[in-house]
Structure 1
Amino acid sequence: MSIKLKTVILECRDIPQLVSFYTSLLHWPVVYEIETFVGIHSNEDEMGIAFQYDENYVPPTWPAKLGQQQMMAHLDFAVEDKSALKEAVENATILGAKIADEQYGGEEWITMLDPAGHPFCFVVWNH
């Protein structure tokens, strides 16, 4: 038996906002769409991200703070080098992301928050 991770699903109140952000950031097309759920998918591999409507969604606090909404997961996106890292951060910021106030990981790892508040990282990944 073979099991593969196919899609990571992010809850949100504004699906179009996140679809616009991630399709622009990753250049992945929309592959599935209904009113409360939209999926995008990589053209290069079998990975996807989907966005599911949740009227009670509360953005997580980064870093975690006792008594506040906790992060359940985050996404890591690989970049080739420090130059690509800088370019990815600048592009994500233009698209509506914010650099997280607190950073862990030095010069090769930047934590950001997407327009709905989900943490994600750009990482110089050489292996």
Structure 2
Amino acid sequence: MFQRSRHYVPPVWPPEDGRQQMMMHVDIEVPDLTTAVADAESLGARLADTQYQDDVRVMLDPAGHPFCLYRETPNP
């Protein structure tokens, strides 16, 4: 069951001491990173200001929860 909290504080990315931490972590494998980022943005997500890897994009959902989109690795 999901419910709203009127005292909700969005997590921060990257994590900072004393600030709300993420509550869970979701990684989504995608065939094309650029298209997946555009699709996520069209649904209300935004690209996080801090990115650490070329083949992963940290996104923030409309409530501020981070999730990662990462490029599929080709089969050998």
| TM > 0.5 | yes
Structure 2 residue ranges without an equivalent (≥5): none
Higher RCO (Cα < 8 Å, 6 or more apart): 2
Matched to 2:49, the amino acid is D
Matched to 1:79, the amino acid is V
Residue by residue over 1:59-90, the C-alpha shift from the partner in whole angstroms, topping out at 9 and shown as x without a partner, is 1010011111111322111012xxx2111100
What's the RMSD between the two structures over aligned residues?
1.6
Count the aligned residue pairs. 74
- Partners of 1:111 and 1:52 in 2: how far apart? 25
Indicate which of 53, 56, 63 corresponds to 1:116.
63
Higher strand share: 1
Indicate which of 36, 43, 53 corresponds to 1:95.
43
Alignment TM-score, normalising by the size of structure 2: 0.84
User: Share of identical aligned residues, percent?
Assistant: 50
Q: Secondary structure at the match of 2:23?
A: coil
Matched to 2:17, the amino acid is L
- Partners of 2:18 and 2:5 in 1: how far apart? 21
Structure with max Cα Rg:
1
- Partners of 1:119 and 1:52 in 2: how far apart? 19
Alignment TM-score, normalising by the size of structure 1: 0.53
